[in-house]
Amino acid sequence: GAGVSQTPSNKVTEKGKYVELRCDPISGHTALYWYRQSLGQGPEFLIYFQGTGAADDSGLPNDRFFAVRPEGSVSTLKIQRTERGDSAVYLCASSQDGQGLYGYTFGSGTRLTVV
């Protein structure tokens, strides 16, 4: 597609449930990133993929968070046993290279609300 697509755009879930957030990057972009933006904050790094592999997952807050990119294109961010503190906008971005020298292209995000 022309841009980075994220689905769903909004997700409301109950505390303790499992959620999956999907990202469809720009075709041909090998680098894919997940960021999280809490209210009143800037985006915070979660994980970076180069191709199929997670090259840097140091931003994942704990082991309830996991992300995959099995075929090097679409990525899924998975959150187990959701907590109210997980409520945020989850942003996906992609780029042609892993250096970010021309900025990333971000999707519109998935707004996750844990009630």
Partner 1 sequence: DQQVKQNSPSLSVQEGRISILNCDYTNSMFDYFLWYKKYPAEGPTFLISISSIKDKNEDGRFTVFLNKSAKHLSLHIVPSQPGDSAVYFCAARGDHNTGNQFYFGTGTSLTVIP
**Which residues of the shown chain bind partner 1 in the complex (CB under 8 A)?**
4, 33, 35, 40-45, 48, 55-56, 58-59, 91, 93, 98-109
Q: In what helix (H) or strand (E) does residue 36 lie, and over which residues does it extend?
A: strand 31-37
User: Closest separation between CB of residue 16 and partner 1, Å?
Assistant: 28
Cα 81 from Cα 92, distance rounded (Å): 21
Number of helices and strands in the chain (H, E)? 0, 11
User: Closest separation between CB of residue 78 and partner 1, Å?
Assistant: 21
- Residues contacting residue 83 through CB under 8 Å, at least 6 positions apart: 15, 64, 114
Q: Which is nearer to partner 1, 47 or 114 (CB)?
A: 47
Q: Which is nearer to partner 1, 14 or 44 (CB)?
A: 44
Q: Which is nearer to partner 1, 14 or 40 (CB)?
A: 40
